Amino acid sequence: MTSIKIFCPATIANLNCGFDVMGLCLEGIGDEMIIRKSPEKGIKIAKITGADLPLETEKNVAGVAGLALIKNLNLDYGFEIEIHKKIKAGSGIGSSSASATGAVFGINELLGRPFSKLELVNFAMKGEALASGSEHADNVAPCIFGGFTLVRGYNPLDIIKINSPNELVAVVLHPNIEVKTADARAVLSPNVSLKNAITQTGNLGGLIAGLYTSDYELISRSLQDVLIEPFRKHLIPNFDNVKNVAVQNGALGSGISGAGPSIFALCKSQEIAEKVAHSMNESYLKTGIKFDIYISAINSNGVSII
């Protein structure tokens, strides 16, 4: 195989109580990439559509992630990458992680799969560091593993795929404004109170337990964020109102997707998700800000070959 076309899905990271450690993979929302073997060594970003992103390999998250993968391989050839962006940069649903993940997944396939999924996450994190200033796996892990994932630890990297109910559906409202991940991280406090740390730990454990046991009430009361949301929500116009109407109309919980500005809601069924999406839509129309809204099942497979 000398070329491959792949789908790189969007993701929701943090899920309120799981800052930098929890994420889920979305169905039907994502980028497309084409990767080809090239006689020229190294990696070349040959084409980008849908976004104004750098073609220079070392300045592109896909290029940096791909270079990390091939760094210690003695290859006498290289790779060309085409990126067709459908996820807007700074949207909060994993635009950079989709590019980084797509690059390492596609190159690994063309090499005959020498690397494990865990190793691919490690390479993709190098691309994420270029975009956000830190190596975090809460987006790239679900993008590669699919479904819900927990990053139990970073040193060494330890990722757990979490079983979850098939009925869960996500709603994502994306305001057409940009919140850069680096800026959203800059507003956070480096220190937290013991009380809030205990609350957040309990919520994270409750969310994971609720997913495994299909306990929707437990999932609902665990989708609370006392550490990150209070600092970031002012970056998103009308956030509190949208969150409140989502819950009032049946969502299990709602919060900031990744670094924002997207707002997500988790729902028990497609029917409830459609009602929640309508209510979020009506609430955000009042801002006068253009936005997109998506309803998505949970993608259990992650990045895939088209």
Fill in the DSSP letter of residue 15: T
Longest dimension (CA), the chain: 59
Residues with catalytic function: 128, 181
Q: What angle do CA 28, 29, 31 make, to 5 degrees?
A: 110
Q: Contact, 23 vs 14, CB < 8 A?
A: yes
Q: How far apart are CA 139 and CA 9, in angstroms?
A: 10
Handedness of CA 69, 96, 142, 111 (dihedral sign): negative
Q: How far apart are CA 295 and CA 122, in angstroms?
A: 30
Closest to 23 measured CA to CA, from 155, 121, 126, 167: 121
Which ranges constitute the DSSP H helices of 46-134?
Answer: 61-70, 95-110, 117-132
Q: Do the bridges between strand 78-84 and strand 42-49 make them parallel or antiparallel, or are there none, so unpaired? A: parallel
